[in-house]
């Protein structure tokens, strides 16, 4: 399916409405102000001034208004990414993406999300506010997560601290933990999509392909078909950016719950402030309680204990 996006002024947009008035349809989706359907093309206009043309006639229809607009081709940003070579039109394809968060935080779980965004949902997802989650505030991600969940097919997995500490003590590396969670999240989305399948699957790369699949060698189901790996994958397709947002929001929700449990707002990351809060928790509730909130093998555990017993 071909996709074209044009950006119009308010006056120019009215000309699109007039041109397709006889083919107008109802499309109840966030941000949509007009939609039409002709024989080979769907036309969707958004509050932001963007008009999305989808279908075999997308190039032809967009060209009708080309003199009025900036035509923006959807291209993957790959100059600073490392990993598999992606198709030239990858950013406009139907892709299942996955990402994780919480791996560098002493407090809180690891959360992994997988998300399928079809080609005809890409512009809508962008309208809902999706971009690289590193460019978004936590508050904004929490604000848009609900709308995203109503639009896309997704799965979110949360590995709590007790389970994390248990399997880590059995010799599981963080790489293996992440690989298993990504694989499980992707499997759940594929099950929801069946019998349909994505054109590609993109994993935000944290290990080389061979290492990733070695981590999964004992899993009963291993997702291999059409899988690509790339660093900075949130810049390459909105499915990974959406997955990153949903994983982050799940992490934030878990941190809020743990903060209530601890009786103190738990800081993110693994810096000196984390050591100080961990020290306070040990003094009030004991080391065993601290373990239920943290990734015990992090150096922060010993740093906090030193602060506790510091004379």
Under 8 Å between Cβ of 212 and 229: yes
pLDDT recorded at residue 132 = 59
Query: Which residues 6+ apart lie within 8 Å of 40 measured at CB?
Result: 55, 56, 57
Residues making up the chain, counted from first to last: 311
Angle at Cα 100 formed by Cα 89 and Cα 109, nearest 5°?
A: 170
Rounded CA gap, 50 and 226, in Å? 31
Query: Which residues 6+ apart lie within 8 Å of 31 measured at CB?
Result: 46, 47, 48, 124, 127, 128
Under 8 Å between Cβ of 4 and 89: no
CATH class of 3-72: alpha beta
- DSSP percent split of the chain into helix, strand, coil, nearest 5: 45, 20, 35
Query: Which residues 6+ apart lie within 8 Å of 21 measured at CB?
Result: 36
Q: Which CATH number fits domain 90-257: 3.30.420.10, 3.90.1150.10, 3.20.20.100, 3.40.50.720?
A: 3.30.420.10
pLDDT recorded at residue 231 = 92
Q: What is the pLDDT along the chain (311 residues), one digit of tens a residue?
A: 567 788 888 888 898 999 999 999 998 777 889 999 999 999 999 888 888 888 888 888 888 886 555 544 444 444 466 788 898 889 989 999 999 999 999 999 999 999 999 998 998 898 888 865 567 889 999 999 999 999 999 999 999 999 999 999 999 999 999 999 999 999 999 999 999 999 999 999 999 999 999 999 999 999 999 999 999 999 999 999 999 999 999 999 999 999 999 999 999 999 999 999 999 999 999 999 999 999 999 999 999 999 998 85
Domain boundaries, the chain: 3-72, 90-257, 264-308
Rounded CA gap, 233 and 227, in Å? 13
Q: What sections of 170-286 are H helices per DSSP? A: 174-193, 209-215, 238-262, 272-285
DSSP 86: P
Rounded CA gap, 260 and 2, in Å? 49
Tokens representing 187 are 């499997």
pLDDT recorded at residue 75 = 43
Helix (H) or strand (E) holding 291: helix 287-291
Question: Sheet containing 3-7: which strands, arranged edge to edge?
Answer: 32-38, 41-46, 50-55, 3-7, 70-72
- Give CA torsion, residues 99, 102, 104, 108, to 10 deg: -170
pLDDT recorded at residue 62 = 85
Query: Which residues 6+ apart lie within 8 Å of 304 measured at CB?
Result: 275, 276, 278, 279, 281, 282, 290
């Amino acid at each position: 399916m071909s996709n074209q996006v044009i950006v119009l002024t308010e006056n120019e947009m009215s000309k699109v409405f007039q041109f397709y008035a006889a083919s107008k349809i109802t499309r109840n989706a966030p941000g949509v102000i007009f939609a039409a359907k002709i024989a080979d093309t769907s036309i969707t206009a958004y509050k932001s001034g963007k008009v999305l043309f989808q279908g075999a006639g997308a190039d032809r229809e967009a060209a009708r208004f080309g003199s009025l607009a900036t035509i923006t081709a959807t291209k993957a940003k790959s100059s600073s990414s490392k990993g598999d070579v992606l198709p030239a039109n990858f950013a406009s394809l139907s892709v299942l993406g996955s990402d994780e968060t919480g791996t560098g935080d002493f407090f809180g779980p690891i959360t992994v999300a997988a998300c399928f965004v079809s080609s005809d949902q890409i512009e809508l997802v962008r309208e809902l506010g999706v971009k690289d989650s590193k460019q978004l505030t936590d508050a904004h991600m929490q604000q848009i997560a609900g709308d995203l969940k109503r639009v896309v097919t997704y799965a979110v997995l949360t590995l709590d601290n007790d389970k994390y500490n248990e399997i880590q003590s059995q010799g599981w590396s963080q790489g293996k933990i992440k690989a298993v969670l990504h694989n499980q999240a992707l499997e759940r989305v594929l099950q929801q999509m069946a019998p349909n399948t994505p054109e590609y699957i993109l994993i935000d790369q944290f290990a080389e392909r061979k290492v990733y699949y070695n981590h999964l060698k004992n899993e009963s189901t291993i997702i291999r078909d059409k899988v690509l790996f790339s660093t900075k994958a949130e810049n390459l397709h909105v499915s990974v950016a959406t997955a990153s947002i949903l994983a982050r929001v799940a992490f934030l929700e878990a941190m809020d719950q743990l903060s209530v449990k601890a009786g103190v707002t738990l800081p993110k990351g693994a810096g000196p402030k984390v050591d100080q809060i961990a020290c306070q928790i040990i003094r009030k509730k004991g080391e065993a309680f601290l373990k239920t909130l943290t990734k015990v093998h992090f150096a922060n555990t010993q740093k906090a204990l030193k602060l506790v017993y510091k004379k």
